[in-house]
Amino acid sequence: MDYQFPELPYAFNALEPHIDAMTMEIHYTKHHKTYFDKFVAAIKETEMNGAPLEEIFTHVSKLPTPVRNHGGGLYNHTLFWESMAPNAGGAPTGKLADAINVKYGSFEEFKAKFNDAAANRFGSGWAWLSVKADNSLCVCSSANQDNPLMDTSDCPATPILGLDVWEHAYYLKFQNRRPDYISAFWNVVNWEVVQARYESILNK
């Protein structure tokens, strides 16, 4: 299959005032596009050219480092854009809400744990809510453009929500204030999509 650079599912200014339009435009058209272009160039040099990203990640430790960095960058940002929407936020409902309450006690406790993972990731990386092989939830973070699908992960799982905590994701609006950016993120989380991801894993 040919790899496609995904459409941004909303306008650059759609997540204002929480995520500003200038950051969205640069993040999508420059950062995400560069990950896409460099991934396509890197994977062409391997026998996995054309394979789905999820499959590539299960072998990523044996592939050239640019595949890991740029393939991760491609996948992670696509999941991130789809995890947000205008007029979103609030709290999950249904089976995901139940699972969060069972694992973390409450939605607020879950958010605190996710906030810690995002705030305490040193340097560049991502915070994740993921589903482990036994269908339980887990919160963790990863460095650089790694993610929990990679065979290098110390928290192997399928991510259903991700937050980019690279400085390029927030510096124009929030400068060094990563915790303020993390707080703003909760106003744009598209729980319908996150819940659908969760339920599709349960139904596998």
Q: Which CB, 166 or 181, lies closer to Mn ion?
A: 166
Q: How near is the Cβ of 153 to Mn ion at its closest, in Å?
A: 18
> Pick from 77, 81, 71, 79: which is nearest to 151 by CA?
71
**Total binding residues for Mn ion by CB under 5 A?**
4
The residue of the chain with the least Cβ separation from Mn ion equals 164
- The residue range among 99-107, 114-122, 164-172, 189-197 that interacts with Mn ion, by the rule CB under 5 A, is 164-172
Q: How near is the Cβ of 11 to Mn ion at its closest, in Å?
A: 18
Q: How near is the Cβ of 32 to Mn ion at its closest, in Å?
A: 7
Cα 187 to its chain centre, rounded Å, is 16
Q: How near is the Cβ of 178 to Mn ion at its closest, in Å?
A: 13
Q: Which CB, 31 or 103, lies closer to Mn ion?
A: 31
Which residues in 24-83 contact Mn ion (CB under 5 A)? Answer: 31
Q: Which CB, 110 or 146, lies closer to Mn ion?
A: 146
146 is an interface residue for Mn ion by CB under 5 A: no
164 is an interface residue for Mn ion by CB under 5 A: yes
Side-by-side strand order, sheet with 125-131: 137-143, 125-131, 158-164
Q: How near is the Cβ of 91 to Mn ion at its closest, in Å?
A: 25
Which residues in 95-124 contact Mn ion (CB under 5 A)? Answer: none
Q: How near is the Cβ of 27 to Mn ion at its closest, in Å?
A: 6
Interface residues with Mn ion (CB under 5 A) are 31, 164, 166, 169
